[in-house]
Amino acid sequence: MNFSKKPLITFRDVSKWYGEYRALSSISADVHKGEVVVVCGPSGSGKSTLIRTVNRLEEIQSGAIHFDGKDVHASSVDINKFRSQVGFVFQSFNLFPHLSVAQNIMLGPVNVRKQRRAEARTRALELLDRVGLASKVDAFPGQLSGGQQQRVAIARALAMDPPVMLFDEPTSALDPEMVGEVLQVMKSLARDGMTMMCVTHEMNFAREVANRVWFMDQGSLVEVGVPDEFFSKPTSERARKFLSDLRTH
Amino acid sequence: MDSILLILRDYGTLLLVGQYPNGPLGGLAVTLLLSLLGLTLAFPIGVVMALARLSPFRWLRWPAIALVYVARGVPLLMFIFWVYFFVPLLIGRTVTGFTTMVVTLVIYQAAYLSEIVRSGIEGMPKGQAEAARALGLSYIQTMRRVILPQALYNMIPALVSQFVSTIKETSLGYVISVNEVTFAAMQINSSLMTQPFQVYFILAAIYFCLCFSLTQLARFLEGRITSRREGSRQSVVAVVSPSTTTTATAA
């Protein structure tokens, strides 16, 4: 695949400590426009922490993250405006239970982008149609299954028309039979050329969709590779162990 | 029973509106007015104080904490005397008992309400605020659109108790001669001399009806919100899927 030369997201020597504990240590990597990056690794390896630093849900202590050339962690950044350009999907969906599905999706466009309600609702309906939930427009999150909630959460993130989508273990809280419907939506996004960074344990998704796999362990980015190579002949011992642990399950 | 009816016949208007329209408004009308002002002013101030207490800025947090500690550490009666005797010294002119009572109730109740609101906010799952901020909503928008609507709804029972106690606390106004319903009952009792049981029975019944209607109103409102949010859940489950596991999600 051909990606533009200039990366959309760059990590340079990114480190983060929780007190004495080093959660991220000197991470340097790039995400290019149109690229799908899957971040994998054992639990506690810092995958989620890393993805959360991109839209500053986590602060970093040293290094820099640039998004489209701008330093994300600079104090001059209008953080709300910046975050509205980065779609984020959580493991636990985090839909707003007091708002209907449509209101969940319209909240950002109406309050941040100052869109008219009618306009935002039309767009919400389009997005719901895209994730296959047009019939649930006036339902409340409590009435939906986990898979449906996560698809609404994806639609909610898409409503801001973000150039990049971040997924933080989007299928880990789902019952097995609902994982497929969420991955399906993510695959269709990837096909449409969305730049995506996904923390996930779904290795089949990585094999099928990812342009690049980042393997993390103990806060370090141990290995970066294209899926075929990563899965068939990982270069690091830790990645080999991780993959063989996965297969034994 | 007859004597209660007689008292109501002779003094009913005094209990309801005081000497109005021939004199100042009093009785139940003033109690209602005090309660209404107390609730409607104390509630928003309580929310603001809760936000101040949760603020990362010390200069916002500390005054709110101080006020809460003072209000909790001093009996309301003492508070009323303080406002009654010292505020005129401070501002250089006298204030009416009614104003004193409103100011006292608002400060006192706001302090208590702020603690309830604060615990409601702190009890919210972190993911809610994160999801709102990730969309680009500001802190204020996040509070207003996402956190407070849920936190306040969760705290309805505690808030209602506090509202009810506001109503009851208006009765302390009689010590600084605020002409509210307890004051009216005292007047009636001293002119009748012989029927304290009947007079105070009427008074108790009035307070009970007032507080009871407020709790019922709150229950009705809570029920309406609940059914709007999940009332159709049963029917949806029944239509879409007979399995209840589909709704057992991490909501």
pLDDT at A150 over 70: yes
Average pLDDT over residues A3-28: 90
Question: What's the rounded mean pLDDT across residues B49-59?
Answer: 95
Average pLDDT over every residue of A79-85:
96
For A216-231, what is the mean pLDDT? 95
Write out chain B residues lying below 8 Å of A157, CB-based.
Answer: 134-135
Residue B123 Cα, gap to closest chain A Cα (Å): 15
Give yes or no for a contact between A47 and A92, defined as CB atoms under 8 angstroms apart.
no
Collapse the DSSP code of B21 into the 3-class scheme (helix H, G, I; strand E, B; otherwise coil) and give the result. coil
> What is the residue extent of each domain of chain B?
2-250
To test the contact with chain B by mutation, choose from A54, A89, A98, A151 the residue with the greatest count of B C-beta atoms within 10 A, namely A98
How high is the pLDDT of residue B75?
95
Q: Taking CB atoms and an 8 Å cutoff, what residues of chain A touch B230?
A: 140, 142-143
Mean pLDDT throughout A43-65?
A: 95
| Of A55, A15, A17, A58, nearest in space to A197 by CA | A55
C-alpha B73/C-alpha B81 separation (Å) is 15
Looking at CATH, the fold of the domain delimited by B2-250 is given as MetI-like fold (1.10.3720)
pLDDT band at B23 (very low <50, low <70, confident <90, very high): confident
Is the model more confident about B1 or about B158?
A: B158
- Closest Cα of chain B to A54: distance in Å? 11
What is the pLDDT averaged over residues B15-21?
A: 90
- pLDDT higher than 90, residue A248: no
Whether the per-residue pLDDT at B235 is higher than 50: the answer is no
The pLDDT > 70 percentage for chain A reads 98
Omega of the bond leading into B21 within 30 degrees of 0 (cis): yes
What is residue B234's predicted lDDT score, i.e. its pLDDT? 41
**pLDDT at res. A5:** 67
Please write the tens of the pLDDT for every residue from A130-140: 999 999 999 99
| ipTM confidence | 0.93
Mean pLDDT of chain B: 89
- Exposed / middle / buried, residue B193 (Cβ in 10 Å: 0-12, 13-18, 19+): exposed
